[in-house]
Structure 1
Amino acid sequence: MTTTEQPVGVLLRQWRERRRLSQLDLASRTEVSARHVSFLETGRSRPTKAMLLRLSEQLEIPLRERNSLLLAGGFAPAYPQHTLHDVPMAAVSDAIGMILAAHSPYPAVVVDRHWNMVDGNDGVALFTVGCSAQLLEPPVNVLRLSLHPDGMASRITNLGQWRAHILDRLAHQIAASGDPELVALQRELSEYPGDDADRVHDTRSLVVPLKFEGDLSFFSTTTVFGTPLDVTLSELAIEAFYPADAATATAIRSLRNGQT
């Protein structure tokens, strides 16, 4: 993550280095000379708005940070940012509601770029039973809730494996974004107790499962919106959990029907 307090050339260089590209690599992708890229980074040349947008596209810079880059270059942001309650987001909000409802009784949550829960369906209650009230106060961070000793951790039977999966996923996200808030979250989660001896994945499983007390086992999928042009929309993801075996599917249906 970057701020507009830094020169636009410095920000460009930081993003290029984060993507592990040379100036020649970026120049080739953007169809300009390596010398021009060098001049932009050192401040000898001032980029146009169109050039900043071209470079941002090739560097796969998140929309929020593209706006910051434009501001640093002296231009207005190119991408709007709405809440789900704003009129332009009505269709998106309705679609999210339909996805969450259709996924019930299995848990599904909508999270932002920092893993704070934006919305969720009734199935989420399966995971939050017994969790500390403090952890359930908005904004609920789903990764903290998952690994905190007063959250779901005590009910996850493969905690070491699940903890390693979450920390690895977070590390990849940090490498791509450099977000300091995610760095702080990773540091916090790493300090929570967990059985690191259980980090090895079961080679018989196709995905890393979330194994819950009561012999429940889930796998998760992540859904994002294609070609978003709004900052908020680009940062939303739907995490949906599915039964990893027939016994779990039967147990969840029984719970829904009020059976024991």
Structure 2
Amino acid sequence: MVVIDLRDVSVRLGGRTVVDGVSATLDRGLIGILGPNGAGKSTLVRAAFGLVPATGAIAIEGDSVARTVAYLPQGGAIHWPLSVRRLVALGRLPHVAPLARMGWGDEAAVARAMAAADVAHLAERDATTLSGGERARVLLARALAAEARALIADEPLAALDPAHALAVMALLRATAVGGTLVVAVLHDLALAARFCDRILLMDGGRLVADGPPVTVLTADRIAEVYGVTAWIGQVGGIATVIPLGVAPGR
């Protein structure tokens, strides 16, 4: 089991506090990090990887972070004209010795990742020609190919149509059920309520709530953090949250 431990983590960028004293232990299941734009969600996960300077304490269990944690950044760009298969195979680099070729186990991991992300049919396509949604799924496949013990995905649903957004959330959920810690920065309240085991809700750089979706995504808290009224309930036995309108006084 991977444990990512954050203790009083703060980040200042451009003279402004973007993350303010966040403490949380991320250790199991599918964990969603939610909050409005500018809440500090992406900065928090970037700080966990040392991609931005932070104060406080950050600890990730494991001898090799590259093998322990796979990171899917927000809005990943593809600059080189690689085939989709070769791009996804880059996810295996932490497992391959320098100048060595991938083995059959690596090839199998790449194939599994492409099938799971529904991009196997794109294997020979030039990755620079992909649509936004195709690119998002290919980059997710690259992260999955690492078969790391933890996966952190920053806005993995960006540019996805509803069918693929549902499929990706189901995939992240299944990955978590299989024993991988999955942390996802999300904006979709309905999908978070449906699929996440736990939600960290941020606002103004601070962690304002941490717990199961039913205790975090309340009407009062959604109005306070997002400034909208919301219907919260179940449809066909599926938990959902539907924003209705701007909250009074906003």
**Shorter-chain TM-score category?**
under 0.3
TM-score by length of 2: 0.25
Higher relative contact order (CA 8 A, sep 6+): 2
Q: Over alpha carbons, which structure has the higher Rg?
A: 1
TM-score (norm 1): 0.24
Bigger strand share:
2
